[in-house]
Chains A and B, each alone.
Chain A
């Protein structure tokens, strides 16, 4: 009785929302499954797109899991984990973002009944980890290496991988066209790991088939002054001077002031200023360069000066474009025009100003170092080109990854079915609860082929049973069989060139398992009340930190 009289200890600030225990775990799982449901329909070649329209009036039409997750603006703490794994998949391998979210959602869904039945989450976690370890070993075993093939053949194989990625996208109709483009672009930049050397320019208008790859650099005509049209627009083997200075008549020092006591000196000051700019221009001309690019403005005076001397110039070139030109043409960006030696000048085979759609483009092609590529994308609408860019980005990442870890697995759900079969088989050798959990993990993996069928409108159960039968053949010849998206049956994915780099699957399974385990290990959420005043800002910061520490930390301690 005495203990009941004790004053209540208020541990947390008023309004703090805490929930804990099993119901909390279940509700976290529900939230994750709900999020996974959102991206579910975008999987596979028959996957649909989402149109997301935000408050600012921007519209995005996308099929890319990571993009959708990002735009959904998820606030639920557990569901945010899924957003993070989609992002990490995107930055790590570039594709398979929908897959990873879907897998994580499915792992959790499978775990739910066990949790409801009172299984300790840590048991589940342990089994899931084992299963993922086994799955990864199996993928490594099944992967086919394309190492050691000739360049031509490698190119063909890489294009297949890119085509598989692209088939689910809006530009799927032209997947061969874009796959080859992606492969060419990646091979053009060579072994270097600088992805920003592949430029993508978007020009509305035209059809997607009008897109083209420039083996060099292309950028939109910059703002020009009068006299620009009188400059020549095409050069063969020009020398290119890259600058980072202004070529304009301007005051040399911002804060300087000239005091004249004699009006006769006036002219000399004017002349001095003109001489400075003329001197700069003269040095540019003397360097022998035929194309002058600058990151800063090239004024009208300079434009006309160059026009008189048959030199092409462009001012206010975007920095990344300038760096690409530097890398491609082999020059270096100069911050002064003094002592311009031949070594810092770049060159290329052809420089030309060309009309692309409604814009004029400066195109440098046939560059000696050849370490850059620019893709000019065309399409009927802005959103279309945006989506094409995202898709092509995925394809480029895939090709890059496949080039580095050159092993592929068969797609179309074949690899997932095979792992699933392997895990089931393995589960039978285990005594104890773990058997059930690994079995459910195996079942969760089947979500990929199932969803492929669902999205295409096929009878998923039927197809899945056919696949299970094929994969269960003792000879193992059924291993590469996956969903045939065209007929609604099953087909040998490997023979049909539905390939994915093994690294996508490895990363997806790893990340999805990690995420599922993380969600399972949480049993309490402490949510601080929203701060009301500016003064409360700092309090929230601290509070949030504590909250986060709280739910991670507590879960760990009770292990």
Chain B
């Protein structure tokens, strides 16, 4: 810390608790920051690409997560270093905005930092490095636009969408059924998409998982699944042409919210009260019957008496259904949520072609399927898998695939994957570098080198010779003027990503480059770190 001295030459305090604070400044601070950032990138580097490995993370309370998703890994790692936290947020914001490419963006930022360090050691001003990076990122951004392909799809032709989702899924643990999962993801997104506004509300896609069965049993249901069973075991298990009453009021005598007290001083009064309560139940069930409901879905519970009554009146019911699910059911079946029995009318009932209760395997678990709904704008993806970790990872993978499909609906441009886009950008940036006078030129060239880090990591993870492979592909791109050459991770035998059908979304790639540059600039711009030295 900066010290000042008093008249006797003793240092005195300017800042509160000065002795307990540490301060790093100048090049030391930058180097420390860079190495923190690089450390994070190094962790994620091995999970990049189709041959990338997974990480096992154990939370403080013993829960185990196995994942390949960059954002999830970093989130669970609980990093303490400030710069490392920035990298975590970088990955998170890629996740928020695009949903995919969370590993790539961190690896990219790590590579940029590594290159920056070399330049700093040569005495180049960090801000000039950052500015050079910014120039280069803009070149790469525009270059991506120029090599992007627009591709047409429609509800009838979903093949291109499926292919792109497959690229995303291929790096995940679920890649053995990537085809079927990709199909499910695309169909789900198309079902809820508003193609005119190019908007997809992913909230309408419910992803539900259940341990047991195998991954291949994962299915898409045009309707809703509720993890509940009928309130009475003797109620019918299957209802066709169901008219559903969706209630947010309990099957019990209404209670005024204001504090109240009923004075009962005679036996008669007690009897009346008792009868009245029974009458309430009766009326409620009758009301549901009257409007023609054949199934009642209730947000609250109801006691055994009501349950018995419902059973007697042959009105199946489901209780304790969560608010979000209730809403989805209402949307799917075209019904209205009814807050009061008096408001129940025939128009407000939801309609579903089939409601059935399904039991799984030998367990007693049962779930309710609501299918063939009037409006299929709400769908459910039902995941099966051998264990809980597997299901959780599949959920994350499906989420990534859904995001990719959504991004394509928003913007139907794609670039080719397998590192081909990065290599192509690297060549373009390298070529553009020479046009810039001044120190920035070095930074731009460094940016080009950093772009090579992604194909390099891909090759490395796939067990190929990284440098040889990269240089071979690079020269091929230049020689054949073909910007679709990438790393052949799966050993298919061709480098052309068009033939391999490896696509990525344009906006995802662009976002990766811009975000990584932005965060690197932020890190480079810090030359002074003041922190309490306790931790």
Contact = CB atoms under 8 A, between A and B. Distances in A.
Interface residues of B, number: 82
A263 B273 contact: yes
Contacts of B82: 51, 53, 59
B505 interface: no
A226 interface: yes
Nearest to A207: B514
A267 B342 CA distance: 13
B55 interface: no
B180 interface: no
A522 B15 CA distance: 20
A534 to B, nearest CB: 21
B12 A230 contact: no
B93 A227 contact: no
Nearest to A265: B262
B330 A75 contact: no
Contacts of B97: 205-206, 210, 357-358
A371 B82 CA distance: 39
A30 interface: yes
Contacts of A52: 530-531
Nearest to A273: B256
B327 interface: yes
Nearest to A59: B82
A341 interface: no
A523 to B, nearest CB: 12
Contacts of A307: 336-337
A273 B125 contact: no
A63, A226, A229, A379: residue with the most chain B Cβ atoms closer than 10 Å:
A226
B349 to A, nearest CB: 13
Given A37-B2, A261-B263, A50 B131 contact: no
Interface in A409-468: 456-457
A73 to B, nearest CB: 4
A259 B15 contact: no
B86, B95, B199: residue with the most chain A Cβ atoms closer than 10 Å:
B86
B2 A456 contact: no
Contacts of B258: 251-253, 256-258, 269, 273
B526 A51 contact: yes
A101 to B, nearest CB: 13
B481 interface: no
A195 interface: no
Interface stretch (A332-340, A381-389, A499-507): A381-389
B222 to A, nearest CB: 18
Contacts of A357: 93, 96-97
Contacts of B253: 266
Contacts of A272: 256
A269 B260 contact: yes
B259 A23 contact: no
Interface in A40-55: 41, 45-46, 48-55
B532 A262 contact: no
A206 B526 contact: no
Contacts of B337: 226-227, 230, 300, 304, 307
Contact of A266 (B126, B276, B528): B276
Contacts of A210: 97
Contacts of B515: 206-207, 380
A383 B86 contact: yes
A344 B529 CA distance: 53
A270 interface: yes
B7 interface: yes
A258 B260 CA distance: 4
A50 B526 contact: yes
Interface string A270-309: 1011100000000000000000000000001100110110
Nearest to A248: B257
Interface string B309-353: 000000000000001101110110000111110000000000000
A28 to B, nearest CB: 9
B313 to A, nearest CB: 22
Nearest to A299: B339
B3 interface: yes
Nearest to A55: B532
A355 B82 CA distance: 29
A363 interface: no
A207, A256, A357, A358: residue with the most chain B Cβ atoms closer than 10 Å:
A207
Given A51-B529, A204-B89, A209-B514, A31 B4 contact: yes
A26, A73, A357: residue with the most chain B Cβ atoms closer than 10 Å:
A73
Contacts of B521: 170, 173
Contacts of B522: 49, 61, 170, 380-381, 383-384, 387
B167 to A, nearest CB: 22
A285 to B, nearest CB: 14
A19 B12 CA distance: 13
A51 B7 contact: no
B528 A61 contact: no
Given A74-B15, A257-B260, A380-B90, A304 B323 contact: no
Given A173-B131, A226-B323, A258 B7 contact: no
B248 interface: yes
Contacts of A270: 254-256
Contacts of A170: 521-522, 525
Interface string B122-156: 00011110010010000000000000000000000
Given A50-B528, A263-B276, A269-B260, A19 B125 contact: no
Given A173-B131, A380-B89, A48 B526 contact: yes
Contact of A226 (B272, B299, B527): B299
A299 B33 CA distance: 48
B154 to A, nearest CB: 23
A30 B4 contact: yes
Interface string B1-28: 0111111000011111000000000000
A264 interface: yes
B6 A23 contact: yes
A204 B93 contact: yes
Contacts of A59: 82, 85
The 8 closest A-B pairs by CB, nearest first: A23-B7, A205-B96, A53-B531, A48-B527, A358-B96, A381-B89, A205-B93, A30-B4
5 contacts: A27-B5, A266-B273, A272-B256, A307-B337, A383-B86
